[in-house]
Amino acid sequence: MTVKHSLLALLAESPGTGYALKQRYEQRTGALWPVNIGQVYKTLARLEQDGLVAHPRGDDSAPFELTESGRAELSAWLVEPVPTAGLRDELVVKVLLALGTPGVDGRQVVQHHRRAVIEETQRITRTRRGEDLTWTLLVDSVVLRLEAVMRWLDRCEARLAQHEGAGR
Amino acid sequence: MTDRPALRFEQVSKVYGQGHVAVHALRDLTLAVAVGELVAVMGPSGSGKSTLLALAGGLDRPTHGRVLVDDVAVSALRPDGLAELRRRRVGYVFQDRNLLPQLTAAENVALPLELDGLRSGAARAQATALLDELGLADLADRFPDDLSGGEQQRVAVARGLVGPRSVLLADEPTAALDSLNGEAVVDLLRRRCEGGATALMVTHDSSISGWADRVVFLRDGRLVDTAGPLPGPEVLLAPEVG
């Protein structure tokens, strides 16, 4: 989680002091990524050095503002592609290894993981908080990622069944 | 949710056909669904999910074992008893919506009550109240052709729920819907269960199963696994390590 760009985004909304920014940050991310106040001050100092944020009229006691270059940096970051998990996924490795291990029922291993995915989905679905948009979007992101894992596990089972059928 | 079962399958088997062409749709399946419980059924196609619902609704009879709705053995009912069960106690929600195009949303929802002998005014009043409760009041006087797919499906869910139905059977009720409309439909089922109904819902979608109190997995006609929510939503708020 990049504290630097999150602070730029918050300053794009309105100016703020280090303490106020810490509070707004935790509000906006659903308190999922707590940040300590020292980290916020240190990051603001670096942003000021780089000319991305500034105190208005050089008044050190006034809340920080976003500069023009800060705004440009933020806009570029918001649309910059994010690296995906790629092929190295622990669950994938487990299932692949299970299939080749003697004495291990691959379908059973798949089913264990499928149950775990559902239980995690149930747990997170229960945290839904009515109309809270930030929280709903966070829950959606977790639930939909779990759905992708579930679909892969379903696919594993279907392919295994197909494979066993062909080998008969 | 209570411990009292509203729906029970006792060592139920269902075989279609005979001899070497026999298909074992369900094998010795035992399952109890409590009053107020929402249970999702998952499993690959051909695992017996739809057969399970058909037996619960009395649309088909088990080859062996018993199916009980509110302690009444569905499998032993005579045709008139079965018809009454389907009209009064069991509500169905299917993937395809089958709304009658010449009737408004409210008239479609009222139809099962009218077929059950309720006067049309009283039936309409119940239908309108239900649509209102489900947040669909604005759609009451519109015809199916004027509704989106998601709206039609929610009206169809209302039709499945209307009246004193205590057991709700839903076969892929969200399959034809986008994710937000799917969520609205499962939310309706969830709220009915919180109001004391019992629901058995077939789905292949884990984000829909996430709303269930319990998820059972079928494979080759057998119940192979069960999932329940892990304890404590507050765990989600624990600071991430690393």
What pLDDT, on a 0 to 100 scale, did the predictor assign at position A87?
Answer: 65
- pLDDT exceeds 80 at position B235: no
What is the mean predicted confidence (pLDDT) over B161-168? Answer: 87
Contact B229 A158 (CB under 8 A): no
What is the mean predicted confidence (pLDDT) over B167-174? Answer: 91
Place of tokens 């908080």: A129
**In Å, how far from its chain's centre is CA A66?**
25
Q: What is the domain partition of chain B in residue ranges?
A: 5-89+165-241, 103-163
**Half-sphere exposure for B38 (CA within 13 Å, toward CB):** 21
Q: pLDDT band at residue B233, thresholds of 50, 70 and 90?
A: very low
Contact B229 A34 (CB under 8 A): no
Show the CA angle centred on residue A77, arms to residues A72 and A82, nearest 5°: 165
Q: pLDDT band at residue B231, thresholds of 50, 70 and 90?
A: low
- pLDDT exceeds 80 at position B242: no
What is the mean predicted confidence (pLDDT) over A143-159? Answer: 92
Q: pLDDT band at residue B4, thresholds of 50, 70 and 90?
A: confident
What is the mean predicted confidence (pLDDT) over A67-78? Answer: 93
- pLDDT exceeds 50 at position B234: no
Tokens of A117: 């995915």
Least confident span in B17-26, B79-88, B232-241 = B232-241
- pLDDT exceeds 80 at position A79: yes
What is the mean predicted confidence (pLDDT) over A37-47? Answer: 94
Tokens of A116: 């775990």
Average pLDDT along chain A: 88
What pLDDT, on a 0 to 100 scale, did the predictor assign at position B85?
Answer: 84
Chain B residue with minimal CA distance to A35? Answer: B239
What pLDDT, on a 0 to 100 scale, did the predictor assign at position B237?
Answer: 44
- pLDDT exceeds 60 at position A84: yes
- pLDDT exceeds 90 at position B224: yes
Q: Which of A115, A123, A154 is opposite residue B233, by nearest beta carbon?
A: A123
What CATH topology corresponds to B5-89+165-241?
A: Rossmann fold (3.40.50)
Contact A118 B230 (CB under 8 A): no
Quote the minimal CA–CA distance from B230 to chain A in Å.
Answer: 6
Q: Per residue in B21-61, pLDDT tens?
A: 899 999 999 999 999 999 999 998 889 999 999 999 888 89
Q: Within chain B, how many helices (H) and strands (E) appear?
A: 7, 10
What pLDDT, on a 0 to 100 scale, did the predictor assign at position B102?
Answer: 96
What span, in angstroms and rounded, lies between the C-alpha atoms of B183 and A140? 11
What span, in angstroms and rounded, lies between the C-alpha atoms of A41 and A60? 13
What pLDDT, on a 0 to 100 scale, did the predictor assign at position B230?
Answer: 65
Residue A72, CA distances (Å) to A4, A14, A46, A51, B46 in order: 14, 16, 17, 12, 55
What pLDDT, on a 0 to 100 scale, did the predictor assign at position A31?
Answer: 66
- pLDDT exceeds 80 at position B122: yes
What pLDDT, on a 0 to 100 scale, did the predictor assign at position B154?
Answer: 86
**Rounded percentage of chain A residues whose pLDDT exceeds 70:** 93
Using an 8 Å CB-CB cutoff, list residues of chain A that contact chain B.
31-34, 111, 114-115, 117-127, 143-144, 146-147, 150-151, 154, 157-158, 161
What span, in angstroms and rounded, lies between the C-alpha atoms of B156 and B108? 8
Which of A121, A152, A164 is the best residue to mutate to test the B interface, defined by the most B CB atoms within 10 Å of its own CB?
A121
What span, in angstroms and rounded, lies between the C-alpha atoms of B104 and B158? 13
Q: Per residue in A87-145, pLDDT tens?
A: 668 898 889 888 878 888 888 899 999 999 999 999 889 888 777 888 889 899 999 99
First-to-last alpha carbon distance for chain A, in angstroms, is 50
- List Cβ neighbours of B215 (8 Å cut-off, separation of 6 or more): A118, A122, B39, B40, B41, B42, B209, B226, B227, B228
What is the mean predicted confidence (pLDDT) over A39-48? Answer: 94
Is the pTM value of this prediction over 0.90? no
